[in-house]
């Protein structure tokens, strides 16, 4: 079980202060440090994802840890899954939802209006809903923040009818440029933290991240098996 290290104690502990400073010196904002499943390593949650670092701060690793004695359980994926579910829950009030009438599953999808497979998925949104899958969209502008791509997603999220604006944008139709208080940047930053590198990226109810487009029936089968 992971034990969180309180940063307040760092001021009195030069060793851990040094570790944190080393991580931040290479441009990684530290959010939390915990004991790693492997002795001699610390698990570090940063704004750019999950890392491991030696206790002396000398070696930084981006890796997967498997527990051989527990059937090759992926300890890293378990930690990431928890982070993903916590992250999307924090932003749950700012998603654009396409709700299934007979809801069986809820998935979160990092999406972009210019992505071909995002458009394909959205063109089939009725099929996902028919399979009992509610889709909650989070924004992930592939071109980055402060770009035309970012502004288009802001316009979608700020539209009077965001669902229609999403459909229009993904159909290639123009969307009225709008601004408002929005969390598109927070969505993008969360995606980077959770390891999203492309769109669509689907987060399952288990916390598992599935990169790329999945046909509705295939996704439904996988979700039904995991219930």
Q: Between vectors from CA 200 to CA 76 and to CA 107, what angle results, nearest 5°?
A: 70
**What SS3 state is found at 87?**
helix
**Residues involved in catalysis:** 112, 115, 118, 142
């Amino acid at each position: 079980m992971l034990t969180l290290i309180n940063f307040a104690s760092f001021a009195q502990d030069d060793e851990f202060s040094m570790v944190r400073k080393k991580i931040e010196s290479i441009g990684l904002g530290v959010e939390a440090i915990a004991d790693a499943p492997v002795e001699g390593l610390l698990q570090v949650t940063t704004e750019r994802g999950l890392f491991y670092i030696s206790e002396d701060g000398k070696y930084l690793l981006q890796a997967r840890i498997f527990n051989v004695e527990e059937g090759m359980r992926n300890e890293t994926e378990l930690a990431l899954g928890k982070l993903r579910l916590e992250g999307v829950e924090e932003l749950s009030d700012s998603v654009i939802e396409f709700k299934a009438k007979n809801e069986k599953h809820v998935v979160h999808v990092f999406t972009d209006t210019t992505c071909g497979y995002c458009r394909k998925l959205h063109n089939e949104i009725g099929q996902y809903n028919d399979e009992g899958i509610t889709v909650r969209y989070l924004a992930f502008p592939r071109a980055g923040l402060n770009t035309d791509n970012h502004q288009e997603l802001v316009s979608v999220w700020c539209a009077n009818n965001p669902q229609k604006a999403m459909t229009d944008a993904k159909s290639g139709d123009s969307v009225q440029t709008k601004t408002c208080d929005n969390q598109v940047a927070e969505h993008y930053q969360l995606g980077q933290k959770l390891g999203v590198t492309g769109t669509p990226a689907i987060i399952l109810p288990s916390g598992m991240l599935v990169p790329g487009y999945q046909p509705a029936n295939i996704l439904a089968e996988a979700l039904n098996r995991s219930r």
